[in-house]
Amino acid sequence: MDIGSAFTYMFDDEDWIKKLAIGGAIAFVGLILTPVIIGIALIMVLNGYMIETLRNVRDGQPRPLPEWTDWGGLFKTGLFVFVIGLVYSIPAIILACGGGIVQGVAPQMDSDVADILFIVAACLNCLQIIVGLICGLFIPAALIRYAQFDTVASAFQFGEIFSFIRNNIGDYIIVVLLSWVASVIAGFGIILCFIGVFFTVFWSYLVSANLYGQLARKSPITM
């Protein structure tokens, strides 16, 4: 795998300024308007663009950044990506809700019971973080399968997902860690006066797409 290119390949496209400007603008508006439908829809479009980029990298296209043309197709693909991520997040969401409920009930109890409930809530919150991280480890493999077979069901074929991860454990760990690094860099960009909302958030999507695509090309998957 060419790890270094994952962070810079987008600049090799002859239209990279236009494509990144559009993606950055979508990320900016999408994040600002996330509480409303239009913002969520724009984030779906970014998700779809990531999957299309993944497919192009997997297929060995020298200029893998797609054109910003099929907005409806990007939204549809991104919607399925959102569903996949949401399902994988359900265990963590349940734990977070449980912790919130317990923490909300605690002040209404006497001091001894309240202390116990606060401890339970803290444990649930810690467990939620751990479970969320564990579930998140499987999302790259799930998205690679979805990009390959274009069905949501393929992202939940856990036997095949476990086998794919086990057979590529070294590269898989590298891909996951570097994707997280890209996300952290994007976070720093956001802090710097919203500069990152325009650029680094979308850039982190493209880094992850390239890493996933390289892994898919190196280790083709089957049903």
pLDDT band, residue 139 (cuts 50/70/90): very high
Residue 194's pLDDT is 58
Cα–Cα distance for residue pair 54/206, rounded to 1 Å: 8
Mean pLDDT within 213-219: 91
- Residue-wise pLDDT tens digits, 56-79: 999 999 899 999 999 999 999 999
| pLDDT-above-90 percentage for the chain | 62
More confident residue, 146 or 186: 146
Cα–Cα distance for residue pair 27/186, rounded to 1 Å: 11
Beta-carbon contacts of 190 under 8 Å, excluding residues fewer than 6 positions away, are 196, 197, 200, 201
pLDDT tops 90 at residue 221: no
Mean pLDDT within 151-172: 94
Q: Residue 81's closest CA among 35, 43, 48?
A: 48
pLDDT tops 90 at residue 40: no
Residue 193's pLDDT is 57
pLDDT band, residue 222 (cuts 50/70/90): low
Residue 196's pLDDT is 58
Mean pLDDT within 129-143: 93
pLDDT band, residue 191 (cuts 50/70/90): low
Residue 197's pLDDT is 60
pLDDT tops 80 at residue 171: yes
3-state secondary structure of 126: helix
Cα–Cα distance for residue pair 26/60, rounded to 1 Å: 26
Q: Can you give the residue ranges of every domain in the chain?
A: 3-218
pLDDT band, residue 176 (cuts 50/70/90): very high
pLDDT tops 70 at residue 198: no
More confident residue, 78 or 108: 78
Residue 174's pLDDT is 95
